[in-house]
A and B are shown apart, each in its own frame.
Chain A
Amino acid sequence: MTNPENVLMLAGVLFTIGALGVMLRRNALVAFMCVELMLNAANLALVTGSTMNGGLDGQVASFFVMVVAAAEVVVGLAIIMTIYRTRRTTSVDDANLLKL
């Protein structure tokens, strides 16, 4: 069996790379994909926790995270499409109507 601590480290690294992407990228779609990467890292940690503790609860939690992610992607992509339709851009810098 894989050492779960290594897998947890991998999950931490993936989560950090995702967070870095959210901070660096300005294309809304890529930033959104980085959020998905963070969710995936959390899933990996949940599955590892399931292996460590000998229960399936972690896998069930991971499954629910996937369901929520699917719903979130649908709404998020619809919002990105709406912004693109009105402002002709997917850059997060250009959505600044609320700014003074």
Chain B
Amino acid sequence: MIPALIPMVTGASLTFWICAPLAVLGALGLVLFRKAVYSALSMAFVMLNLAVLYGTMDAPFLVFVQIIVYTGAIMMLFLFVLMLVGIDTPDSVIETLRGQRWLAALAALGTVGLLFFGIGGSVRSGPFAGLTEANAIGNVEGIASLVFGRYVFIFELTSALLITAALAAMVLAHRTRVTEKIGQRLQAAQRMRDYAETGAHPGPLPASGVFAGHNSIAVPALLPDGSVAESSVSRTLVLRGAALDPEDLRSMTADRFAAIEGVKEEEGDE
């Protein structure tokens, strides 16, 4: 006899009243956050809360499947794709369809009403059976006997589905290369050719922060004459607006130079 895996029966109701508002808050965050990464994180938060709720409802197997498959695999896949595409493009706020928001809110209200009063009205009220009897041989064993017994054909079909999905992902991700791949040797030759033709510097780009007050990657390098080396800051940072204004830095450098000159002059006076 396996003891209850998650002995939260007495606190189940308390757990529900803690987790349910948190899940709703996370769901609202998913819809309302402008930045997609925040949305993804609140989605993961909702999933974790749902996992806890599964725990209170005698479904220890689903707790772990929810955390491992949903929060672990699916959400992280989402985050990977978010990092690959448009992390720097926040959702536009402009309504393309007039009145879409109000209509959407109305539709949501209608859905809630339908779910609560239409379907909810047909839910029979207690006493509820509970799962103590069904879980008598253990939750995982019970689910396994159903999956490999009554639902074995569906289980076989899911394997076909998973293989099809993997194939589809490979086909969609495949890209025929139309230009030659630029390797190290080709790149070096190209650099030397550029140097011969246009005089472009063949060496590495200047490092950020050189001769400036900071060595952060967001600070452009200042050349010895006080002008700014544009190529020293990553283009992504400039697009995102994270790079510091070179004017402030230049004035700071000018102040430093002036201070040094002042010290020299004082020394010269003595």
Interface residues of A (CB under 8 A from B): 1-10, 12-21, 23-27, 29-30, 32-34, 36-37, 40, 43-44, 47-48, 50-57, 59-60, 62-64, 66-75, 77-82, 84-85, 89-91, 93
For B161, list chain A residues within 8 Å (CB): 67-68, 71
Stretch from B68-76, B228-236, B241-249, B252-260 that touches the partner: B68-76
Judged by a CB distance under 8 angstroms, whether B111 is at the interface is yes
Asked whether, in the complex, the Cβ of B172 is within 8 Å of the Cβ of A44, the reply is no
* Extra inter-chain contacts (13) besides given A56-B142, A72-B165, CB under 8 Å: A3-B13, A5-B123, A14-B24, A16-B115, A17-B31, A24-B100, A34-B31, A47-B54, A47-B62, A56-B135, A63-B62, A71-B161, A81-B173
Residues of A within 8 A of B130 (CB): 1, 51, 54
Contacts of A81 in B (CB 8 A): 81, 84-85, 172-173
Q: Is the CB of B24 within 8 A of A7?
A: no
A15-B81 in contact (CB<8A): no
User: By the criterion of a CB under 8 Å from any partner CB, how many residues of chain B are at the interface?
Assistant: 83
A7 touches B16 (CB 8 A): yes
- In the complex, the number of residue pairs spanning A and B with C-beta atoms less than 8 Å apart equals 237
Residues of B bordering A, CB below 8 Å:
9, 12-13, 15-16, 20, 23-24, 27-28, 30-31, 36, 39-40, 43, 46-47, 50, 53-54, 56-59, 61-62, 65-66, 69-70, 73-74, 77-78, 81-82, 84-86, 89, 91-92, 96, 100-101, 104-105, 107-108, 111-112, 115-116, 119-120, 123, 125, 128-131, 133-135, 139, 142-143, 146-147, 151, 154, 158, 161-162, 164-166, 168-169, 172-173, 175
Q: Which residues of A contact B107 (CB under 8 A)?
A: 19-20, 23
Contact B134–A33 (Cβ < 8 Å) = no
- The dominant DSSP class at the B interface is helix
> In the complex, what residues of B have CB within 8 A of residue A55's CB?
129, 134
Q: Which 10 A-B pairs have the closest CB atoms?
A: A54-B129, A71-B165, A78-B172, A12-B115, A23-B104, A21-B31, A17-B27, A20-B108, A84-B85, A2-B16
Asked whether B74 lies within 8 Å of A36 as measured between CB atoms, the reply is yes
Residues on A with C-beta less than 8 A from B31 are 17, 20-21, 24-25, 34
CB of A63 within 8 A of CB of B143, answer yes
Are A14 and B77 neighbours in the complex by a CB distance under 8 Å? no
> What is the distance, in angstroms, from A47's C-beta to the closest C-beta of chain B?
5
* CB contact between A84 and one of B16, B47, B86, B147 (< 8 Å): that residue: B86
Q: Which residue of B lies closest to A44 (CB)?
A: B50
